[in-house]
Amino acid sequence: MAQIKRMAIFTAAIFLVIAAALVNAAQLYFMAAILLVLPIVSYLVGLLALRDLEFEREIPASGWAGERATFRLCVQSKSRLPRHSIQARDILPEWLEQDEEETPFINVAPNTVTRVDYKVHLLKRGFYTIDSMVVTFQDPLGLFFYNKQFKVRSEIMVYPVPEDIRDIILSGAERYGSRELPIAATRGSGLDPDGVRQYIPGDPLRRMHWKSTARTGKLNVIEFEEAKAVNVVIVLDLHQGTNIGKGKDTTLEYLVRMAASLAQNAIRQGASVRLITGDDSDPADFAGRGSEHLFAILASLARAEATDPHPLSSRLIERVGVLLPGTSVVVLTAEADSQLPGAISCITSSGAQTMLFFADPRSFLPGHSHPSERAYNEFMEGLYSAQAIPVVLKKQEESRLIAEHIDYVVSAT
């Protein structure tokens, strides 16, 4: 459209010059000159269009993978003149995708703040930084378009979505006498009273402490001495080179979602949960309970990347440290490291129940041959020798989490 406008002005000026020559009318030359000067004047005025305008972006601090978040563009005008046909577009990182191909044009009134909302699809968990936006504007006649980049920094945490552990299919679990993951047991299920605590959904009503409930106005239950394991340590292997697959269907993404699901399930049962992802200090690396600690774990999982230079087997015992009696340890890895069962045996020998989730890389990338069938079987046999419970995750349709218990292993010859 701008091209057509420019051609129309130029053509009209030529016709005026021809007409002036034919009829010898000097005023037509003057009109042609005005037409030719108009685009230049409009161009110069357009260059001043962004003066006295400030651009900001308002976004939520966090969101969930797969959902759509509302981003808001704010344009503050300190000018006494209106500004028309301004368009701003965020330069979004990978895995953040704007629903609409283009944001609408904005007309900014004098001395006001104009806000425009648009939706962004949060495709994948992670911690994202948005550094800048591109502002497109026009001259008054709509003959020229200008693009200018502004530095506007915003950050958003996209949490992995925990799944209900009951929705995760477990095959081969009958050998354990249950179809549930044997990690976190319920809190306060012994016989000796151990105090009063706030009610957690799922607590039996027979444990209700009505006196303190009436006094405080909040539901409270009698807590009994812990008779089962209530301490869960989740260890996520982030050894570099172990993230196999493409996009959202990678070994690491499956393990992160499983870790989030296990943590949510354990915390809902009142267990103390600790997440270990590396050597660096992290709030999730300290045992804790409740929703606040769950979000600390989810934040750590959102940032998780396979960049650790050390194999998990060389750091596992040091990172786990001294375990309390009755602790359950869950290891999540995509590497069939022959040294890992030995490290796990040191943990199980201390009385800790250990479970290992193995994301089989061969199912995530066609043609990937590691581990070999022989190495895979030896790895599983080593886990059984270490008294660990092995569970396998494979790539599934619609990215479903399906955990498969390994009942037996046949050695390769």
* DSSP letters spanning 74-137: EEEE-SSS-EEEEEEEE-PPTTEEESSSSPPPEEEPTT-EEEEEEEEEE-S-EEEEEEEEEEEE
340-350 pLDDT, tens digit each: 999 999 999 98
Is residue 172 over pLDDT 90? no
Q: What's the average model confidence in pLDDT over 64-81?
A: 93
What residue has token string 């009134």?
Answer: 109
Burial class of residue 164 in the structure, from the number of CB atoms within 10 Å of its CB (0-12 exposed, 13-18 middle, 19+ buried)? exposed
Q: What's the average model confidence in pLDDT over 210-228?
A: 73
With contact defined as beta carbons under 8 Å apart, do 207 and 222 qualify? yes
The predicted structure's pLDDT at residue 407:
63
125-150 pLDDT, tens digit each: 999 999 999 998 888 788 888 888 99
Q: How far apart are CA 105 and CA 128, in angstroms?
A: 26
With contact defined as beta carbons under 8 Å apart, do 252 and 306 qualify? yes
The predicted structure's pLDDT at residue 176:
36
Q: What is the residue-averaged pLDDT of the chain? A: 85
Q: In CATH terms, is domain 165-186+228-405 a member of 1.10.3470?
A: no
Q: What's the average model confidence in pLDDT over 307-322?
A: 95
346-389 pLDDT, tens digit each: 999 988 889 999 999 999 988 888 899 999 999 999 999 999 99
Is residue 103 over pLDDT 80? no
The model's pTM: 0.79
The predicted structure's pLDDT at residue 143:
84
End-to-end alpha-carbon separation of the chain, Å?
Answer: 73
Share of the chain residues as helix, strand and coil, in percent rounded to the nearest 5:
30, 30, 35
The predicted structure's pLDDT at residue 170:
46
Domain ranges of the chain: 2-47, 53-159, 165-186+228-405, 193-226
Q: How far apart are CA 121 and CA 69, in angstroms?
A: 6
With contact defined as beta carbons under 8 Å apart, do 271 and 289 qualify? yes
211: Cα separation from own chain's centroid: 43
Q: Which of 382, 296, 286 is nearest to 338 (CA)?
A: 382
280-290 pLDDT, tens digit each: 889 999 999 99
State both tokens at 280.
């660096």
Burial class of residue 76 in the structure, from the number of CB atoms within 10 Å of its CB (0-12 exposed, 13-18 middle, 19+ buried)? middle
What is the Cβ-side half-sphere exposure of residue 382, based on CA atoms within 13 angstroms? 19
Provide CB contacts within 8 A for 95, sequence distance 6+.
122, 123, 124, 126, 128, 158
The predicted structure's pLDDT at residue 193:
55
12-61 pLDDT, tens digit each: 889 888 888 888 888 888 898 888 898 888 888 888 878 889 999 999 99
Q: Which residue has the higher pLDDT, 142 or 75?
A: 75
Phi, psi of 279 (to 5 degrees): -85, -20
- Helix 340-348 to helix 373-385 angle (10° resolution) is 10
- Given pLDDT bands bounded at 50, 70 and 90, which one contains residue 177? very low
Phi, psi of 219 (to 5 degrees): -70, 130
SS3 22: helix
323-343 pLDDT, tens digit each: 887 789 999 999 999 999 999
Is residue 200 over pLDDT 70? no
- Given pLDDT bands bounded at 50, 70 and 90, which one contains residue 10? confident
- List the CATH code of the domain at 53-159: 2.60.40.10
